[in-house]
Structures are given as C-alpha cells and as structure tokens.
Amino acid sequence: MGIDYTYKPEITAEEISETLVAYNGIVVRSKLNVTADFLKKQPQLKFIARAGSGMDNIDLDEAEKRHIVCVNAGEANADAVGEHGLGLLLSLKHNIVKSNRELVQNTWDREGNRGQEIGNKTIGIIGFGNTGSAFARKLQGFGCRVIAYDKYKNGFSNQYIEEVSLSYLESEADIISFHIPLTSETSQWIRSAWISRLRNQVTLMNLSRGGIMKMTDVIQGLKSGRISGFATDVLENERLKSFNDEERQAFEWLNDQDNVILTPHVAGWSEESYVKISVVLADKIESHLKGEKIKTETSNYNRQIVG
C-alpha cells in the first residue's frame, strides 16, 4: 500500500513525542503510556495499534474524543496465554517447580510431592475473551468441569464450557483463573472481601494484569489457607528495582512459598505470538487504511470484562 514506516525500538518517550508529528499512526507495546497529554500534542494521529492485548497504557477516552482509531492484537497471543495458564496449573497441582527445586538441593521426596489431578476439579474462568476462551479450549482433554463468567458477554456455553453467574462460580470453583483487562471496574478485584466469598479452598491464577489484585490480600489468603495455591504471570508493580519496603517483603515471601509460582509477564510472549501479533496488526492497519470495517477498541473497553 506504499506505507512509510520507521522502526525505532530504542526510542525514548521524549523522543517519540518530538518526532511523532511526522506520522499519522503509531504501533506501541507496553513501554509507552499514551496519555491524554501525549495525545494533545499529536493532533495528526489517525490510529494507534497496540502490539498485544491490554489497552490500559492508552487513554482510550481521549483517543475516542479525537477520533483516533485504536486496535489491538488480543487474538494473536491467546493460544500462548492459554498454554502458559495450563503450564502454571499443572505445575502447581503436580508440584513440578517445588520438586525440581528440591532435587537441585539433592532432596528426593516422592511423598511430599504427591500431585493432584485436575480431571475431577471444577475450573472457573473469569473473563471469557481471547485468552479466557483459549485457556478453556486447552483444558478440554483433561476431563475437568469448566465454568466461566463474563459480565459483558453471554451465550458462549458449548460442549466444553458452561456459562455461569459470578456468584455460582464463586461457590463451585476449585480453581479460578482471571483473564480480564485492568479497568476502573476491575482494579483490585482480588482482595480480602472477594476471597472471603469463595466457598471452597481455591487454587488462584492471574493471567491478566497485576492491578486486578491486592497482593497483600492474596498473601493473607495463602496464610489463612483460603487460597491453597497461587500462580501469577503479573505483579502490581513489575519494576522490581522500584519496590518499596512492603512490595519487597511481599515479593520475597511469595518466592519462599512452595505453593506459589511467579512468572515475569511472559504468558503471551512466545516465539509464535511474536510473529502473529505483527501479522494481525499489519492486516488490521491495512484494512483500516483501505476503509474496511475492523474491530476497534474504544472507551467502551473500560467498561468491559472480556479478556
């Protein structure tokens, strides 16, 4: 289509603001926060493409006011997140990380690492968008019961997933996995008040954003036994060197627990998704420039729990 582009992965936020005036569109990952002030300085912008799924680093309300089209590539890394979620779940239930850690220290403990099968468990998925539905598909062969809740989506029950209310999921699930965006509605969803509503002792997984949980409350849930195991690919603060004392203590405590697995926001970061994200965005940008209708992300995203 004769699109002129510039690829500058090492560019700073300050340099972007100064040089972007010559461009009509921008493709970003999570490095840049596209704030209202940033957009006010770029009146020529026509589209913003997010190389990933989360849109919480883009002020969608301001973009919508300025008629800037915003797209993401949530469908491109869904399989990677689904597989990562399955890996975390199996690792927790079969003590894979714990037993490996012990073997490195020359400890051979079979009985202490007796696993639990997931085939007789009820797995609850909160957020049935791209990643939530991908995780559900990955679970098909295990014989477990899979239920899901999504506030803004319905009619998705099928042969491998049962659509349920939030209260029903909270009362039935043995394992709960979160696949939702970070919005004003979902911020700190996972905290003591919510944990206390769960009927069963649960294995808890977060494959969305760190801001949907209050880590100190998760730790209290682990200490009390309300949460039997915890796996997260995200943290409230992912800049480890900037931790305050409370964050440092929480992080160190979690790392000392045998029933906790932490990964560095890599669930959707596969070799394959790296390529697929680029292809999906390129197709969407080309379609938009041709005037074709595409799925866009607007300020309505901030009111949707669709993963």
DSSP the chain: --------TT--HHHHHHHGGG-SEEEE-SS--B-HHHHHT-TT--EEEESSS--TTB-HHHHHHTT-EEE--TTTSHHHHHHHHHHHHHHHHTTHHHHHHHHHTT---SGGG----STT-EEEEE--SHHHHHHHHHTGGGT-EEEEE-TT------SS-EE--HHHHHHH-SEEEE-----TTTTT-BSHHHHTT-SS-EEEEE-S-GGGB-HHHHHHHHHHTSEEEEEES--S---GGG--HHHHHHHHHHHT-TTEEE--S-TT--HHHHHHHHHHHHHHHHHHHTT-------GGGGG----
Terminal Cα distance for the chain, rounded: 32
Torsional class of 265: left (φ above 0), alpha (ψ -120 to 50), beta (otherwise) = left
What local confidence, expressed as pLDDT, does residue 21 receive? 85
| Torsion, CA 38, CA 41, CA 47, CA 51, rounded to 10 | -30
Of the listed ranges 20-24, 211-215, 224-228, 275-279, the least confidently predicted one is: 20-24
Angle at 213 between CA 212 and CA 215, to 5 degrees: 155
* Token pair in block for residue 305: 């729990």
* Token pair in block for residue 93: 């239930």
Q: Which whole-number Å values give the CA distances from 197 to 173, 194, 204, 213, 231, in the listed order?
A: 12, 5, 14, 15, 20
For the chain, domains (ranges, CATH) are 13-75+270-303 (3.40.50.720), 78-262 (3.40.50.720)
> Span 107-126, mean pLDDT?
97
Indicate the pLDDT class of residue 304, thresholds 50, 70 and 90: very low
Task: Give yes or no for residue 299 having a pLDDT over 70.
Answer: no
- Mean pLDDT (the chain) is 92
Residue 269: how many other CB atoms lie within 10 Å:
17
Per the listing, tokens 């300025």 go with 66
Task: Give yes or no for residue 305 having a pLDDT over 60.
Answer: no
> Span 189-217, mean pLDDT?
97
Q: Which whole-number Å values give the CA distances from 67 to 16, 83, 303, in the listed order?
A: 20, 36, 19
What strand order describes the sheet that includes 25-28? 25-28, 47-50, 69-71
What local confidence, expressed as pLDDT, does residue 9 receive? 83
What local confidence, expressed as pLDDT, does residue 61 receive? 92
What local confidence, expressed as pLDDT, does residue 1 receive? 56
Task: Give yes or no for residue 219 having a pLDDT over 70.
Answer: yes
| Torsion, CA 130, CA 217, CA 229, CA 242, rounded to 10 | 70
What local confidence, expressed as pLDDT, does residue 142 receive? 96
Type of residue at 183: T
Nearest to 280 by CA among 60, 82, 51: 51
Q: Are 24 and 46 in contact (CB under 8 A)?
A: yes
> Span 41-48, mean pLDDT?
92
> Span 5-20, mean pLDDT?
84
Task: Give yes or no for residue 207 having a pLDDT over 80.
Answer: yes
| Torsion, CA 87, CA 88, CA 92, CA 95, rounded to 10 | 50
What local confidence, expressed as pLDDT, does residue 12 receive? 84
Taking only the tens place, the pLDDT of each residue in 79-116 is: 999 999 999 999 999 999 999 999 999 999 999 999 99
Task: Give yes or no for residue 53 having a pLDDT over 90.
Answer: no
Q: Are 144 and 118 in contact (CB under 8 A)?
A: yes
Task: Give yes or no for residue 302 having a pLDDT over 50.
Answer: no
What local confidence, expressed as pLDDT, does residue 301 receive? 45
What local confidence, expressed as pLDDT, does residue 306 receive? 34
